[in-house]
Amino acid sequence: MILQENQVQPTITKLKSFAQTYDTVFWLESCNLPNAHDIGAFELVIGLGEKSKIELTSTDFSWDAVSSYLDEQAWKFFALSYDLKNEISKLETKNKDVLNWPVLSCVKPELTITLSKNNEFKVYGVSEAELFKLLDTVNEKDSKPIVTFSAISASLTEEEHHQRVRDIKREISEGNMYEMNLCLEHVLEDFECKQPFELFHKLTRTSPTPFSAYVQLNHKHVLCASPERFLTTLNNRVYSQPIKGTSKRYENFAQNQESRLHLANSIKERAEHIMIVDLVRNDLSKLCKVGSIQVDELFEIYGYKHVNQMISTISGELESSPNFVEAIKATYPMGSMTGAPKHIVMKFIDALETAARGWYSGTIGYIQPDGNFDSNVVIRSLLYDSEKRVAKFSVGGAITFDSDPTLEYEECLLKSEAIRSVLDITAREASFLH
């Protein structure tokens, strides 16, 4: 059915309340923002409940089990940990993850709901009439999330972060790598949030992004305001859209234009960006027909609420029909969150970072019954375990030979601005400010 313009927002409001009656929720939305190169048809994709679920850890992981589970032609939603790279590249992770979630979670939902850009509304699992009857029985939920936590700690101090940047620059100068993404984690202890889904919507109002995602798998919650797409397939082509290069977004038009121009013309930012574009081209070549890889747009600047981002779009014609497992094996983890050369850099990441990334810099997405899929990069995100009463958020940036340690740390602060702002606001409302 096609929703009239005046029906869209009331329907979404009811869906928000309805979703909170489930313990398994995938809520993937564009926040009404165009994405880079305008790829994709959906404004909103929702998966609710679970007909079945597969969750695998590093100790029981099996690609055969994953392929078997994905074989059925049905809607599927997934979340992959960055540490799935150990199963793909035969690596190890010595650092600990305070959350210690599975490296792969995949759900076949009871209900799937999609809203397209042209307001086409589709429901899978029940009829549209049945769904609207259910929506009418649900009361609107309290929209004020209450957050409390006792302490916040960082995996690296500012000076330690500066030293890691200097260490990476030394490795680059010695020819051991070209570029490395260095991440900084913050852990919030005794963390409680009575309305994590509402906190997610507060985050997306503070920082609307085209690849936002909320995931609840019982006690596991992901509140993700991501501007970056990892992989998607469409019309037998695969697309990747890495982000590399960030500048501050200003409300003043002239000031913001200057910021955009500085980003667009920065030799340092363009150098780190083009290295990842080349890495992605190489990754996609493992899946695509010879000679079909193309760069659809290069060094484009896109503006979001707090930042301007440099984004490129790379695509290729698939050798065969979309196959999610083969695509992940060929390209994961995404180059924008590792650096180059990927395999070597992943070893340095484990040596220089002090906390396992877990689901941060992983991916969340869906697979359609016809095999086509879409996925984001889990950045600008809060990960919360209500059973362990702990949450964390991480930020990172690409380090090159020209990186300045002070500026790299300031970029981390800029990228975490939305999450820090939302946590401070909610803590202030709860009279529990840290």
Checking if the pLDDT of 317 tops 90, the result is yes
Q: What percent of the chain has pLDDT over 90?
A: 86
Number of Cβ atoms within 10 Å of the Cβ of 25 = 23
**Residue 211 to residue 257: CA distance in whole angstroms:** 24
Checking if the pLDDT of 431 tops 60, the result is no
- 409: amino acid identity, one letter: Y
Average pLDDT rounded to a whole number, residues 324-347: 96
pLDDT digits (tens, 9 = 90+) for 186-217: 999 999 998 999 999 999 999 999 999 999 99
Predicted pLDDT at 146: 83
Average pLDDT rounded to a whole number, residues 216-243: 96
- Residue 434 resides in a domain: no
Confidence of residue 429 (pLDDT cuts 50, 70, 90): very low
> And the tokens for 37?
């190169």
Predicted pLDDT at 144: 78
Number of Cβ atoms within 10 Å of the Cβ of 312 = 24
- Residue 178 resides in a domain: yes
pLDDT digits (tens, 9 = 90+) for 102-143: 999 999 999 999 999 999 999 999 999 999 999 998 887 667
Burial grade of 89 (CB within 10 A; 0-12, 13-18, 19 or more): middle
CATH code for the domain in which residue 213 is found: 3.60.120.10
- Residue 90 resides in a domain: yes
Domain residues for 154? 5-429
Predicted pLDDT at 409: 93
Cα four-point dihedral sign 400, 406, 409, 415? negative
Predicted pLDDT at 45: 98
How many domains are contained in the chain?
Answer: 1
Checking if the pLDDT of 425 tops 60, the result is no
Higher pLDDT, 290 or 429: 290
pLDDT digits (tens, 9 = 90+) for 368-389: 999 999 999 999 999 999 999 9
Query: How far lies 11's CA from each of 3, 44, 66, 115, in Å?
Result: 9, 12, 35, 10
**Residue 268 to residue 157: CA distance in whole angstroms:** 25
Higher pLDDT, 199 or 34: 199
- Residue 336 resides in a domain: yes
Higher pLDDT, 260 or 431: 260
- Residue 120 resides in a domain: yes
Is 16 a catalytic site residue? no
Predicted pLDDT at 346: 97
Is 133 a catalytic site residue? no
Confidence of residue 427 (pLDDT cuts 50, 70, 90): very low
pLDDT digits (tens, 9 = 90+) for 36-55: 888 988 999 999 999 999 99
Average pLDDT rounded to a whole number, residues 403-429: 80
Catalytic hit among 16, 244, 342, 392: 244
Predicted pLDDT at 41: 84
> And the tokens for 2?
């096609």
Average pLDDT rounded to a whole number, residues 393-400: 94
Q: Which of 76-80, 90-94, 236-240 comes out lowest in average pLDDT?
A: 90-94
Burial grade of 55 (CB within 10 A; 0-12, 13-18, 19 or more): middle
> And the tokens for 382?
């809060």
Average pLDDT rounded to a whole number, residues 416-422: 88
Predicted pLDDT at 142: 64
- 118: amino acid identity, one letter: N
Where would I find the H helices in 61-122?
63-70, 85-89
Cα four-point dihedral sign 56, 59, 64, 65? negative
Checking if the pLDDT of 432 tops 80, the result is no
Round the average pLDDT of the chain to a whole number and report it: 93
Catalytic hit among 228, 269, 272, 408: 228
